[in-house]
Amino acid sequence: MSETNIDTHQTSTSTGVDNRKLLMWLFLGSDCLFFGSFISTYLVYRNRSLSGPYPNEILDIPITTVSTFVLLMSSLAMVLGLNYVKEGRQVIGRYWTLATALLGMVFLGFQVYEFTHFAHAGLTPRTNIFGTTFFTMTGFHGGHVTFGVIWLLIFAGSSLANTIRQRLLILSAFLSVVVTMIGFFMTETLDVIPHMPFAVTLAFILLGSLGTVLSLFMLRTPDAPSSVISNQESNLEIAGLYWHFVDIVWIVIFTVVYLISANDGAPLL
Amino acid sequence: MTTISYPTIIPRPKEYVTGIWGWLTTIDHKRIGTMYGVTAIIWFLIAGIEALLIRLQLAQPEGKVLTPEVYNQMFTMHGTTMIFLVVMPLSAAFFNWIVPLQLGARDVAFPRLNAFSYWAFLFGGILLNISWFTGEAPNAGWFAYAPNTQVPYNPTNGVTYWILGLQVLGIASLAAGFNFLTTIINMRAPGMSFFKMPVFVWMTAVVNVLIILAFPIITVALIQLQFDRLFGTHFFNSAMGGDPVMWQHMFWLFGHPEVYILILPAMGIVSEVLPTFSKKPLFGYSAVVFSGIVIGFLGWFVWSHHMFTVGLGPAANAAFAISTMLIAVPTGVKIFNWIGTLWGGSIRVTTALLFSVGFISMFVIGGLSGVTHASPPSDAQQQDTYYVVAHFHYVLMGGSLLGLWSGIYYWWPKFTGRFLNEKLGFWHFGMVLLGFNITFFPMHWLGFDGMPRRIATYPEGMGWDVSNLVSTIGAFVLATGILIFIFNVVYSNLRMPKTASNDPWDARTLEWTISSPPPHYNFEEIPEVKYRDDFWYRKYPELAFETHGGGSDHTEQEIDENHHGDIHMPDPSYYPLFLGLGLTIMIGGFLPFLGHWIVCGIGLVIFTWSFLGWCYEPVND
């Protein structure tokens, strides 16, 4: 018999790839077909809306370009976070991981804004076939981003933090960002909610930003002796695979919806 | 360093628990396999009763057994149940039981995920069948063509039950697919390279690739249909620019790989049974494996042969006709390899072998009728007639089910330590083969005589009376055969002694190296593999020289007692059960009854809680 210890529950795998990482790759392969189906449906149904609003009347390319940029930057943050965690620099690794999640939240904020704006402008999933395909496709993408944000936040708050204090700070950073975003969102709805004083909106934004900065600042204290074990980095790597994939899907959706079909109008019958 | 212990709401069971809790919390692939098998056979009996009711209704012209409404529900649920709740889970039972054993592994890669797959399958099946009790079972056929499924034409909740049930079942299949693929890629015994894997494992791999790539498509199609029905979107509503044909594309893009998901496991089983009972290696192992892969690959380029009469145009029809006929090539390769395996072998006629041979012959008939409707002009005659019904029963029952039965008789000693009674098995085989052919062969003629499928009744004087009556009589002969099987199972468990040795059939693969039934940790020592059919050459080292041109090293292998450390097996867990339950309640909450969003919310809470509990579940040491 060889020296390798194969008696304990198989810790080494046949290919050397971690089982969970392989599972994630397989899931992503499967998810390609999931988004592929939505995107194909969108493309097949292009130019088939019988009534407006049509894409050329409603799509706002500049603002979506900004949100796309935000999402792409979140992928950069993810790479940096994983890199630092691998180097054993837990504090800065945690910052970048949190930054990934928070940028993801900002992207989602843009999406909520866009959806509300469209609804105000008269485009819902029931309005026409563009609304039907647009909202389902981008909505399920948003759902994927939401899941990723929750995953990264929980990961930053559980595996990359070792004390209750750090966890509470991560929670407060998260809540502060939510409060800030609600504040920004209220500026958009000032005309909808009549008696909303502007001061309240401003307070939301200011307090939220302050809370975010403060929580992140207080998180800078170094941890008790390095506790990042190798398992954590492979866990983060798996979350990263998912995150990058969801980003790539967005690039496709952005291209298909905002670049290719931005000039689609009434059907050419 | 402060460590934070997570509050455990449900303690993790510590031991290998017995009794009902043992089954509810088990993550042992063998027990999960047993649960898959037992559940699938119960669904099989239910779907069988549905089939008998259909046959009773059609036995004579102007049948009055079922109303047309109930008849629609009956054939929809018969097809849906047989495909998603019988053949797929029966295959999954074999994946569970056999794949880790053939790989020389102690369990699958993700034991809890495996348990979750089973529970989601069980609850999904129940969700689908609850519709019987509310009186609104799905009624749009197993492929649920739009616009038949749109609310104006189908206002009851039947189609919604169908959508939501299949959604849960799809998630169960996807989870199992990821799990088995990871297991096959990553948990092979040392030395077992891909081309030393048993053919059954290979076919499992192909099937699970198909599952993880095909099920997302049906998931999306079902989401779209569900949104159309519940939220007023327009995916398949032509009045608003949608297109019912889009549903057909989406469905068959999933549906055609699905039929290979149904048949390939049986092909894998037959490829294990025939060599064992011929005492010969499988003829052309590489050819069988490659043709399995090619079938899986080509299966993606043929979906529109289900839509030849839709009017996609001559170019599309010609292309899909060619790709469809191409599939006959790898299938034919397999048939000849199986015959080549039997040829010149020292054949032992057992029930398992009979079923395998039955599989080959019935599948050839089904395959040939399949080739006839690969040609669009010929298909235009056959579309939606009983000829098609005959075809897919020959491949699904004569193919998949006979193959699966072969596996049941072959591996039963490994599952239980007991043999199934061979004499009863012979009668089971005989009655099933006879009844099956009496039932389905006349349907070829019925189809050519123009009898459409899915009609609740037919008038006298169409020339269909005799064939229909014969077919119904055949169905009852078939049912008798199945009852003999059930009796055999019960009888063997109560009366047959536990006499099975490790290797009762003188077989070739690793599962026969361990006791029958296997201990819960499977292998005391993870085996090392040198050859394809390694166990065979370990038993007969002199043959290794003939086949591989080198002596077997297995004689040198000795078991070093000191090397044998603790065996760590993962602990049982409650969370897979709760996660499956939460998922089903959450998805079931989309049914539009009073307060359904509250139910959906409760499901979400259970789901989230079990999900987090699952992630942070401690490992007992």
Between CA B163 and CA B414 the distance in angstroms is: 37
- Using the predicted structure, report yes or no on whether residue B5 has a pLDDT greater than 50: no
Q: Say yes or no: A22 contacts chain B, CB-CB below 8 A.
A: yes
pLDDT at B565: 54
Best CA proximity match to B388, nearest among B81, B79, B149, B146 = B79
3-state secondary structure of B442: helix
**Are A14 and B185 a contacting pair at CB < 8 A?**
yes
Q: Between A220 and B267, where is the model more confident?
A: B267
Look up residue B230 and give its two tokens: 């519940």
Per-residue pLDDT, A174: 83
Residue scoring higher pLDDT (B3 or B535)? B535
B184 contacts in chain A (CB < 8 Å): none
Looking at residue B556, the DSSP 8-state letter turns out to be: G
Instruction: Write the burial class of residue B508 (CB in 10 Å: 0-12 exposed, 13-18 middle, 19+ buried).
Output: buried
Side chain identity, residue B269: I
Lowest mean pLDDT among A56-60, A265-269, B28-32: A265-269
Token pair belonging to B418: 């007991």
Cis bond upstream, residue B527 (ω within 30)? no
pLDDT of amino acid A218: 76
State the smallest CA–CA distance between residue A28 and chain B in angstroms.
10
- Mean per-residue pLDDT over chain B, rounded: 91
> Residue A6 pLDDT more than 50?
no
| pLDDT at position A171 | 82
Helix (H) or strand (E) holding A136: helix A129-158
Out of A194-198, B451-455, B475-479, B519-523, pick the least confident. A194-198
Rg (CA), chain B: 25
B105 to chain A: nearest residue by CA?
A: A10
First to last CA, chain A: 75
**Is B601 strand, coil or helix?**
helix
CB contact under 8 A, A31 and B216: yes
Lowest mean pLDDT among A206-215, B151-160, B210-219, B517-526: A206-215
Amino acid symbol at B78: H
B385: helix, coil or strand?
strand
Q: What's the gap in Å between the CA of B124 and the closest CA on chain A?
A: 20
pLDDT at B17 over 80: no
- Higher-pLDDT residue of B470 and B533 is B470
Tell me the pLDDT band of A222, cut-offs 50, 70 and 90: low
To test the contact with chain B by mutation, choose from A4, A21, A23, A232 the residue with the greatest count of B C-beta atoms within 10 A, namely A23
- Higher-confidence position of B610 and A192: B610
Nearest partner of A212 among A247, A239, A183, judged by Cα: A183
Quote the distance between the C-alpha of residue B523 and its chain's center.
27
CA distance B224 to chain A (A): 8
pLDDT for position B379:
93
What CA–CA distances, in Å, run from B220 to A38, A41, A49, B171, B209?
A: 7, 10, 21, 12, 18
Residue identified by tokens 């032992």 is: B348
DSSP string, chain A: --SS--SSS--S-SSSS-HHHHHHHHHHHHHHHHHHHHHHHHHHTTT--SSS--HHHH--HHHHHHHHHHHHHHHHHHHHHHHHHHHT-HHHHHHHHHHHHHHHHHHHHHHHHHHHHHHHTT--TTT-HHHHHHHHHHHHHHHHHHHHHHHHHHHHHHTS--SHHHHHHHHHHHHHHHHHHHHHHHHHTTTTSTT--HHHHHHHHHHHHHHHHHHHHHTTSPPSS----HHHHHHHHHHHHHHHHHHHHHHHHIIIIIIISTT--S---
What pLDDT sits at residue B300?
Answer: 95
Is A164 an 8 Å CB contact of chain B? Answer: yes
| Residue A221 confidence (pLDDT) | 66
Task: Name the percent of chain B lying above pLDDT 70.
Answer: 93
| 8 A C-beta contact, residue B1 and residue A227 | yes
Question: What's the whole-number mean pLDDT along residues B168-176?
Answer: 97
Q: B311: which DSSP letter?
A: -
Distance CA A102, CA A149 (A): 8
Residue B485 confidence (pLDDT): 96
Note which residues in 80-139 of chain A have CB less than 8 A from chain B: 125-126, 128-129, 132-133, 136
A109-165 pLDDT per residue, tens = 899 889 988 988 899 999 999 999 999 999 999 999 999 998 998 888 777 776 777
CB-based contact A38 B3, cutoff 8 Å: no
Nearby residues of B24 by Cβ (< 8 Å), 6 or more positions away? B574, B577
φ, ψ of residue B426 to 5 degrees: the values are -60, -45
Residue B72's CB is within 10 A of a number of other CB atoms, namely: 21
Residues of A within 8 A of B212 (CB-CB) are 26-27, 29-30
Alpha-carbon distance values, B378 to B363, B372, B381 (Å): 20, 7, 5
Query: Alpha helices of B104-154 — where are they, by DSSP H?
Result: 111-133
CB B241 to CB A13 under 8 A?
Answer: no
- Tell me if the bond preceding B89 is cis, omega within 30° of 0: no
Helix H or strand E encompassing A76: helix A61-87
Mean pLDDT across the stretch B550-567?
Answer: 49
Q: B-chain residues within 8 Å CB-CB of A19?
A: 109-110, 182, 186-187
For the segment B165-190, the average pLDDT, to the nearest whole number, is: 96
The complex's ipTM? 0.92
- For chain A, positions 198-257, list CB contacts with chain B under 8 A: 224-225, 227
Relative orientation angle of helices B402-416 and B422-448, to the nearest 10 degrees: 160
Asked whether B111 and B47 are in contact (CB, 8 A), the reply is: no
For B54-63, b/e burial (b = at least 16 CB within 10 A) is bbebbbbeeb
> What is the rounded CA–CA span in Å between residue B225 and residue B229?
6
Q: Tens digit of pLDDT for each residue in A226-257?
A: 444 556 778 899 999 999 999 999 999 999 99
Q: How confident is the model at residue A8 (pLDDT cuts 50, 70, 90)?
A: very low
Angle of CA points B275, B276, B277, to nearest 5°: 95
Q: Is the pLDDT of residue B3 over 80?
A: no
Average pLDDT of the residues in B327-351:
95
Q: How far apart are CA B214 and CA B211, in angstroms?
A: 5
Query: Residue B557: its pLDDT value, please?
Result: 46
Please give the interface size between A and B, counted as residue pairs whose CB atoms are below 8 Å apart. Answer: 152
Sign of the C-alpha dihedral, residues A127, A130, A132, A137? negative
Residue A234: its pLDDT value, please? 82
Structure tokens belonging to residue B559: 């078991």
Task: Give the one of B231, B241, B616 whose C-beta lies nearest to A45's C-beta.
Answer: B241
- How many residues in total does chain A contain? 269
A128 with B186: Cβ contact below 8 A: no
Predicted confidence (pLDDT) per residue in B273-296, tens digit: 999 999 999 999 999 999 999 999
Residue A197, pLDDT score: 67
pLDDT tens profile B342-370: 999 999 999 999 999 999 999 999 999 99
Task: Output the pLDDT for position B580.
Answer: 96
Residue for token digits 């080509």?
Answer: B298
Structure tokens at A64: 């979506």
* pLDDT at site B407: 97
Inter-chain touch A13–B186, beta carbons under 8 Å: yes
CB B162 within 8 A of CB B134: no
Cβ(B146)–Cβ(B221) below 8 Å: no
Cis peptide before B147, with omega less than 30 degrees from 0? Answer: yes
Pair of tokens at residue A60: 């706002």
Helical H segments across B2-28, by residue range: 19-25
Q: Kindly list the residues from chain A whose CB atom is less than 8 angstroms away from the CB atom of residue B247.
A: none
Q: What are phi and psi of B385, to 5 degrees?
A: -110, 175
Provide the strand spans (E) within A173-247: none
Q: pLDDT tens-digit profile of B93-129?
A: 999 999 999 999 989 999 999 999 999 999 999 999 9
- Measured between alpha carbons, how far is B378 from B501 in angstroms, rounded to an integer? 53
Q: Which amino acid appears at position B589 of this protein?
A: G
